[in-house]
A and B are shown apart, each in its own frame.
Chain A
Amino acid sequence: MSVTTTPNGYKLDTGGQRVVIDPVTRIEGHMRCEVNVDSNNVITNAVSTGTMWRGLEVILKGRDPRDAWAFVERICGVCTGCHALTSVRAVEDALDIKIPTNAFLIREMMAKTLQVHDHVVHFYHLHALDWVNPVNALKADPKATSKLQQLTGPKHPNSSPGYFRDVQTRIRKFIESGQLGPFKNGYWDNPAYKLTPEADLMAVTHYLEALDLQKEFVKVHTVFGGKNPHPNYLVGGVPCAINMDGDMSAGAPLNMERLNFVKARIDEMKAFNDNVYIPDVLAIASFYKKQLWGGGLGAKSVMDYGAYPTVNYDKSTDQLPGGVILDDNWDNVMEVDPRDPTHVQEFVNHSWYKYPDESKGLHPWDGITEPNYDVSSAKGTRTNIEELDENAKYSWIKAPRWKGHAVEVGPLSRYTLAYAQGVEYVQEQVHKSVAAFNALAGTDLGAKPILQSTTGRTLARALESQYCSDMLVDDWNALIANIKAGDTATANMEKWDPSTWPKECKGVGVTAAPRGGLGHWIRIKDGKIENYQCVVPTTWNGSPRDPAGNIGAFEACLIGTPVERAEEPVEILRNLHSFDPCLACSTHVMSEEGEEIVSAKVR
C-alpha cells in the first residue's frame, strides 16, 4: 500500500479493495481497468490497460502511400473513415498536393456525418445502459412518459401514450421471455441508476429508434464513398466524380438525385439531434445532478488540433479552433504544432514496448516501437493476469504527452477550447444547455461544474453532433454553390504518378476524430512508406503513466468517484464510457527498423 501525489495533482492510494474489470464492455476494442476502492467506496487509484495490439504501422512500411488510407481505415470500423481522411491528408501534406474545393467539402461532409453517426451510436448503444435501466422501464406509465416526451422534446413526433405502450409491451415480452440477450447480467437493481421509470422508458424507446435511424445517416458515406463501414478515399481528392447534366449523368457517382439523397439524410440527422438526442441527454443528466463527478483531466488540461475550416487550408477559419489549455486556465490558450518535435511525444516506460532510453519521449516522425510484453511483477502468470503492477509496464497503449503534460482530448476538450476562444455558436449552445439543465434539475449551476464531469463529457458530445449537423447543411449549400459557379473538379491528379514525387519527404495530417484529436505522421522515401505513425485519441486518454508519474485521462476521471457497490462497476463504466474508448485505435507500433525488430523479438 502506498499514498502518492502525481505531478499533475492526483492523490493515489493503493490501499483498500482492488477491483478488476476485464473486459470493459461496450467499447470498441478491448480494455481492462483495475481500481482501488477505500472503506467509503470511493475510488483512490485507477489503472487503465489496453489489452490488444495489432501492429498496423509495421505492416505499412514499404507500401504505396496512396494505399495507406485503406490500411489505416481498418484501425477502426467504428470511427470509420477518420483514419482514412487523416492518412490522405498526411500523404498530401508530404507531397504538397492541394485538393479541389468540391473534394474538400465532400470530405468535410463525410467527416461530420461520421461525427453524428458515431456520437449517436455511442450515446444510445454503448453509453445509455450506464444511465438507463431497461428493466425499470416496465414500471412506467405510458401516459406520463408521453408527457415527459412532450416536455423535454416537444418537436419529436413519436410521443403518444400508445406509442410508448407498444414499446413497453415489446420490452416486457422480451424481458419476460427470460432470454435477456445483451441486457443479461446487467446491474438492474443497483441504486446507481437514477431515472424514473418514465425516463427509462423514453430512453429505451429512443435506443430502438436510434438503432433504426443510424443506418440512414451513414448513407451519406455510401453515396460519396460507396459503402459504410469503410468508405473509399483517394489521395488528391475524392473518387466520386460530378456530372450534373451531361451525358450519362445517371450512371455517374454524383448527380442531382445523389445530392438530394444526401440532403435528405442531413435533414434526418439535424431533426434527430435537435428533437431527440440533445433533449434526451439533458433530461437524463438532470436526474444525475448530484453525480457531477468524473471531470478528471477534462477539468484541467485539454488539447485539440482544431477542425472544420470554412476555407480549406486556412486554420484561422476553423469552426472548432484547437489549442491547449493547462490547469483550467481558459484565458491562456496555447498553440499545438504537430510538426514541432517538442510538442507531441510518446513515452513507453509503462507500456509493453522498449526504448533505448525510456526516460525520454519521441516525436512521431522519429518513433520507435519494440514490443516488450512483460508482466513479471504482476500477480498471476504471464498468460493469466490477476492484478497488474502499475509501477511496471502494464498496457499496450503508449503515453503521448504535449510538452510533457498529460491532456484530455475529445468533444469536451474541443468544446472547452471553442468556448474559451469565443466561438459564438458553441457559447450559445452551452448557455442554452446549462439553462435547460438547471430548469429540469432545479439547480443553479454555472457552465463549468456541469461541463467538467462525466455528464459534461457526454453533453459536449451531443452538442458537437448538433453543431456538425448544422455545419453539414452549410457544407451541402456550399457544394451546390461551388458547382453552380462552374467548378465540378473532384480530384487533383497532377502528382498521382510517383515519378513526380521528391525522393524523400514527410507530412502530417490531423483531424477531429469523434474521440478527439487524431494525427498521422508519414515519411516517404523512393515512392514508398518509410515510416508511419498514428497518435490517436484513445492513446491520449487511455495512456498509462509517464516517466514523471502523470496519469492519463481515463485514470484521472476515476479518482474520487464514489461507487454504490464495489463489485458492480456501473459508475466506473459510466465514467470510462463518457470518453467513448476506442482501443483498436489506441494500440499501434512503428519503428525505423520496422519488421526486423518485431520478428526478432517475438517468440
Chain B
Amino acid sequence: MAKIETFYEVMRRQGITRRSFLKYCSLTAASLGLSPSFAPKIAHAMETKPRLPVLWLHGLECTCCSESFIRSAHPLAKDVILSMLSLDYDDTIMAAAGHQAEAIIEETITKYDGQFLLAVEGNAPLNQDGMSMIIAGKPFSEQLNRVSQHCKAIISWGSCASWGCVQAAAPNPTRAVPTHKHPGIANKPIIKVPGCPPIAEVMTAVIAYMITFEKIPELDRQGRPKMFYSQRIHDKCYRRPHFDAGQFVEEFDDEYARKGYCLYKVGCKGPTTYNACSTIRWNEGTSFPIQAGHGCIGCSEDGFWDKGSFYDRLSGIHQFGIESNADEVGGTAAAIVGGAVAVHAAASAIQRATSKTDQGDS
C-alpha cells in the first residue's frame, strides 16, 4: 500500500465512469443542502483528497448508531464503506477478531499518525477501574485514550459518546462519561453527532462534508454541526400549524390523534429538542416520530433521560417564555401568536396535569 488513493481514483478503479462520478458529486451537494454550483468543488475534492482511514471504537453502547449508519440511503452504507472511507477497525463488522483485530489499531497509529479519524460509539465507564467495559483484557478507557492521542479529529456518534445517554442516566451506576469528559482524552477537535441514534443520512453527510470540504463542519457552542442541529424539531414540524392554532391531541388515539393535531399535551419534546428529524426525517425520509403519532422524546438532548416522563408536557410558562423570545427573532407577529398559544396551552396544561405533577418524580 504505497500511497493513499483519492476517492476519484478508487471510484474509477471500481469501474465508475467520470460521468457517473460527476452525477454522484451533484447528488452529494444536494444531500448536503448545497447549490448545484458546489458540485464541481466536490468533484475537485474527491479527485485530489486521499481516502480517510477511520478507527471506529465501541464502548458501553447498544450499537444503535452502527445500525443507523448502515441504513443510510444517500450515500449508501455500501458505498461509504467501499468507496469513501477506509474503515480499518470497527469491531461490529470487521472480519478479524482478538489479537489480529487489535493489531490493526497499532498498525494504523504507526502508518497514519495524526491523519486518521477516530469515531467513538458508546462511552467509557470509570467505576470498577473501568473494567465494566473490557476490551482485549483491559479497560476500554485505555484504548480510547491511546487512539485519541494519534487521531486527527474525533466524532462522538450518538448520545452515548456526546452526552452519556442511558447508562449515564441517574444514578449512573458505572459512572459512564461522554468522550469530551473522559479523563485523559487528547485535545483534538470533537464533533458531536447526538441522537439515540442519530439519523443515518446525518451521520453520512457529516462524514461526506468533512471529506469533501476538508474541514470540520461549523459547530454550535455545544459542539454539534450547525447544519443539522441549529433548529428545534418544533420549528419545522408539519404539525406546527395545529400548535399555533391551539389544536392538540388530548389523549392517545382520540379523534385529534387521528387528525394529526399537535402532540404537545401528550409530552412532545419537539419544542426543546435540536435535531433534524422534522426536516430530513428518518429512514430515507419515510417518517419521523411525530408523524407516526408519538411525541418526540428529545433523544438528541443532553440528559434527556432525567427530565421527567416522556409523557409530561413541557411545563408551560417558562418554556413558553423561551419560545416566544425565540419567535421574536423571526418576527413580532409570530411572537404575539406564540404568546397567545402559550396562555391557552398553559391553562389546559394546568387543568390536566395536576394529578400527574402530584406524583411527578422531579
Closest to B285 in A: A222
Q: Is the CB of B309 within 8 A of A64?
A: yes
In the assembled complex, A477 has its CB within 8 A of some CB on chain B? no
28 A-B residue contacts at CB 8 Å? A22-B98, A23-B97, A26-B92, A32-B137, A51-B134, A59-B171, A67-B311, A76-B63, A77-B68, A125-B70, A184-B96, A185-B101, A186-B95, A218-B283, A222-B287, A228-B283, A232-B294, A238-B293, A239-B293, A251-B238, A373-B128, A373-B132, A375-B131, A383-B130, A384-B137, A497-B355, A497-B356, A603-B129
- The residue of chain B having its C-beta at the shortest distance from the C-beta of A387 within the complex is B137
- Chain A residues in contact with chain B, CB under 8 A? 20-30, 32, 51-56, 58-59, 62-64, 66-67, 70-71, 74-78, 80, 121, 125-126, 129, 166, 169-170, 173-174, 176-187, 208, 211-212, 214-215, 218-219, 221-232, 234, 236-243, 246-248, 251-253, 261, 371, 373, 375, 380, 382-386, 396, 488-491, 493, 496-499, 526-528, 568-569, 573, 584, 589, 595, 598-599, 602-603
**Contacts A32-B134, A176-B13, A252-B259 given: A55-B282 contact, CB under 8 Å?**
no
> Is the C-beta of B286 less than 8 angstroms from some C-beta in chain A?
yes
Say whether B90 contacts A232, CB under 8 Å: no
B329 interfacial by beta-carbon distance below 8 Å: no
CB pair B197 A230 closer than 8 Å: yes
**What residues of B have a CB within 8 angstroms of the CB of A52 in the complex?**
60, 132-134
User: Given A52-B132, A182-B90, A182-B94, are A170 and B253 also a contact pair (CB < 8 Å)?
Assistant: no
Q: Are B86's CB and A248's CB within 8 A?
A: no
**What B residues does A80 contact at CB under 8 A?**
64, 67
Assembly CA distance A430 to B135 (angstroms): 39
Q: Is B214 an interface residue (CB 8 A)?
A: no
A186 touches B76 (CB 8 A): no
The 8 A CB mask of B278-301 against A (1 = contact, 0 = none) is 000011101111111110010100
On whether A77 and B64 interact (CB within 8 A), knowing A22-B135, A185-B101, A239-B292, the answer reads yes
In the complex, what residue of chain B is closest to A63 when comparing beta carbons? B361
In the complex the two chains form, is B133's CB within 8 Å of A51's CB?
yes
B327: Cβ under 8 A from any A Cβ: no
Comparing B22-30, B32-40, B77-85, the segment that makes contact with chain A is: B77-85
- Tell me the bound Cα distance from A181 to B173 in angstroms: 35
Give complex CA distance A396, B311 in Å: 34
Which residue on A lies nearest to B131, using beta carbons?
A373
With A and B bound together, what is the CA distance between A569 and B66 in angstroms? 24
Q: Of B162-170, B181-189, B205-213, B333-341, which stretch is located at the interface?
A: B162-170
Nearest CB in chain B to that of A489: its residue: B253
Of A170, A232, A497, the residue contacting B297 (CB under 8 A) is: A232
Given known A-B contacts A20-B98, A371-B132, A584 and B252 have beta carbons under 8 A apart? no
Knowing A185-B101, A373-B131, the reply to whether A211 touches B15 (Cβ < 8 A) is: no
Is the beta-carbon distance between A182 and B252 smaller than 8 angstroms? no
Contacts A125-B93, A185-B104, A241-B293 given; does A228 touch B309 at CB 8 Å? no
Chain B residues near A (Cβ < 8 Å): 1-2, 4-5, 10, 13-15, 51, 53, 58, 60-68, 70-73, 76-78, 81-82, 85-88, 90-98, 100-104, 125, 127-139, 142, 165-167, 169-176, 196-197, 200, 238-239, 251-253, 257-260, 277, 282-284, 286-294, 297, 299, 305, 309-311, 355-356, 359, 361
The answer to whether A383 touches B131, judged by C-beta atoms less than 8 angstroms apart, is: yes
Beyond A30-B133, A71-B305, A227-B289, whether A526 also contacts B359 by CB under 8 A is yes
- Complex contact A28–B134 (CB within 8 A): no
- Which residue, A25, A71, A248, has most C-beta atoms of chain B within 10 A? A25
Chain A positions within 8 Å of B257 at CB level: 241, 253
6 nearest A-B pairs in the assembled complex, by CB-CB distance: A77-B64, A55-B173, A226-B289, A178-B1, A251-B260, A226-B292
Give the docked Cα–Cα distance between A24 and B92 (Å): 9
Residues of A within 8 A of B251 (CB): 493, 496
Chain B's nearest CB lies how many Å from the CB of A451?
26
